Amino acid sequence: YSKVVFLSAINNPKELIATKEKEIIKNLNVNFISFIFLIKKILKKNISKKKNCSIVLITSLYSKLGRKGRFLYSVSKHALLGIMRNICVEYGNKGIRINAVSPGFVDTKMTRNNLDLKAINKIKNYSPKKKLVTKYEVANLINFLLSDESSSITGQEIIIDSGISVN
């Protein structure tokens, strides 16, 4: 049984027209294209050995939304959801399960580097839970999706965002 988590991202806020070609290629390579090459190897290995496999992609709340200055990040996370849905349909009958976890604002270094304290407090106040998501909450969700307890869950995007997306 194989368990795979794909968590790879560059998230440098910048408007599209100010983004250089090299930055576009690098962002898409890290956030999206690298997964295509990885998933091909995972599929070949697991299908040839008739092994079950559970895959979790880490996308983002911005796989559902757009955000100023986050064009490449948002688009690459949208693309991962497209891969997830297609892998589910094409390989689900071969023991492959694949899901996506889309965190909102998680209390991490990246969040604190990209947002000042005023913005973080605004997000907390906007959230029905009045808090940022913790990295442990995200990890617990990933562990559940990788486990046999979630054996009928596949092709799904699960948003974990303290309720921000519904407010």
Strands 2-6 and 53-58: parallel
Q: Is 1 a catalytic residue?
A: no
Out of 1, 73, 126, 136, which one is annotated catalytic? 73
CA distance 58 to 150: 17
Stated length of the chain: 167
The 8-class DSSP code of residue 132 comes to: P
162 dihedral zone (left: phi>0; alpha: psi -120 to 50; beta): left
Residues tagged active-site: 73
